[in-house]
Amino acid sequence: MGALDVSKVVQGRQGWRLITCIWLHAGVVHLLINVLCLLFIGIRLEQEFGFVRIGLVYLISGFGGSLMSALFIRASISVGASGALFGLIGSMLSELITNWSLYANKVAALLTLVLVIVVNLALGILPRVDNFAHIGGLISGFLLGFVVFIRPQFAWINQRRVAPGPQAAPAEHKHKTYQYILWIVAAILLIVGFTLAIVLLFRGYNANDHCSWCHYLSCVPTKKWKCNSSPTTCTAMLQGNTLNLTCEGKGIYRSYIVAEATQDKIDQLCNQLCS
């Protein structure tokens, strides 16, 4: 129904699910939690920067969270706006850094934001929570904040208010050099990161194959809960001579070229894939 299902995104070419999953939730409680978080975070940001820039950060961060989730979470579907919300939090952090000289209680604000991020990411290691979407949204929003939340310096603003005279002070720059550097670096990382993630996703890249410990970022098993409670099932999709198999319980899928896809052949390949 529009949720983020990697097999449908990659094999079914339903890339729109990377966007639609942001507006779906797993229940009333899930929806209310995200609405309350959006009220606390979004109102202040929107009053300060306007709904256009906040809307862009929200949407792009949500998309970034979906991309990272799709690269790591292979065995289950994912829904929710948490990635977009983490993007807003990440943008607040980068906004503080890039406009560092404009703040009075900058250290206190920085420590508060870092604490909020750490606590929320720690909650993401609980089962049934897609922490990869949180991390992807956080990184996307953090980089976007350097691009869209850059502010002019007070000296430049005050200079514009003063009428020019015979002994006018030297012209002040609108932004500091470090702000321009952060803007350029963040923009490059965003473009390269999103392009690379999209290409890898639709090529069937499974990030877990290259990072054996990364699954602990989303769930840490304990005596009270297990992280992989889904049954291991194998689904097959035949397109011409190409047989696509998905091991649902492990989040693994492979493509095979077969001359004749008999049921015995499919069962044999499924056993090899899911064992």
Tally the domains of the chain.
Answer: 2
pLDDT at position 115: 93
Do residues 138 and 33 both lie within one domain? yes
Same domain, 100 and 18: yes
For residues 214 and 131, state if they share a domain: yes
- How high is the pLDDT of residue 75? 75
Q: Is 1 a member of any domain?
A: no
Distance of CA 1 to the CA centre of its chain: 21
**Residue ranges, the chain, pLDDT below 50:** 229, 231
CATH assignment of the domain containing 33: 1.20.1540.10
- Share of residues in the chain with pLDDT > 70 (%): 89
What is the pLDDT, as a whole number, of residue 19? 95
Q: Are residues 108 and 200 in the same domain?
A: yes
Q: What pLDDT, on the 0 to 100 scale, is given for residue 162?
A: 58
142-152 burial, b for 16+ CB within 10 Å, e for fewer? bbbbbbbbbbb
163 and 208 belong to one structural domain: yes
- Give the structural domain span for 51: 6-218
Same domain? For 244 and 131 the reply is no
As a whole number of angstroms, the distance between CA 6 and CA 200 comes to 12
Residues involved in catalysis? 82, 134
How far, rounded to the nearest angstrom, does the alpha carbon of residue 135 sit from its chain's CA centroid?
6
